[in-house]
Amino acid sequence: MSIHTITNWRFIDQTTFGPTFSPLISFATDDTLCTSVGESVSEPVIRTWIHHHTVVLGIQDSRLPFINDGVAYLQKYGYEAIVRNSGGLAVVLDDGILNISLIFKEDKQISINNGYDAMYELIKTMFADKTTRIEAREIVGSYCPGTYDLSIDGKKFAGISQRRVRGGVAVQIYLCVKGSGSERAALIKQFYDIAVNESETKFTYPVIIPNTMASLNELLGLNLTIPDVMIRLLKTIKHNSSITIQQTQLLTEELPLFETNLMRMKKRNEEFV
């Protein structure tokens, strides 16, 4: 699985939809596209998206002993909390964070790590002119820690996740472009402090050290904007003239499945509330 072996891409840009664009729509969209790509209805997809003042919780987070108190704390500071349909733990989304999904057809001969590696290579290539120090390894003390945390000099600026649905694979990354990584981490630290409240839990939640996280601008001394990063992304994908990128939104034939997936996400979150 490699971006460089795919010659035809479909590009869905949802970075400018504004504060009313619900994260529930994003997760329903990726599940829909996984099915569409997996069933060969669609070419592989690049989807870019932004959500404003949202904390996306994992399923384990929704089972915290004082979860309602934790959510009330987030709401007090203007953050909506939703539960996603996949693994992982709490992450912050805001207008300084670019989310990218790469959606491929599943190849059962390819390991799960290949999807992560494809995203890691993409990000390294996008910023190769600015740094050669991007690493993929778990950053202890960050929120939603994992083997494919992306960091520079030990400070995490991105995390990668993966979801497989009906023959399709969505590799997703949240990329902290601007703003304060440590302030975002401090928000999640306080959320866990309140939602755990020193209780014993069956699941081990991360002990967050805010200064383990930073944005790309902080790490590289740059003033990147989201459009700047979008240009880098598209230039990297279209690395030679034989590659085509067609900009679309969801196709008419994808809408019924999208509506079904969106209803599932809404139901999951109604039960959570």
The catalytic residue positions are: 144
Q: Give every strand in the sheet of 97-105, ordered side by side.
A: 134-136, 149-152, 155-165, 168-176, 97-105, 45-49, 8-14, 244-247
Nearest CA-CA partner of 96 in 23, 172, 178, 214: 178
DSSP 244: E
Nearest CA-CA partner of 213 in 166, 148, 265, 151: 151
The identity of residue 101, as a single letter, is: S
DSSP 213: B
First to last CA, the chain: 38
Report H helices in 207-254.
216-220, 226-237
Please state, in angstroms and rounded to a whole number, the distance separating the CA atoms of residues 7 and 237. Answer: 9
How many Cβ atoms sit within 10 Å of the Cβ of residue 237? 19
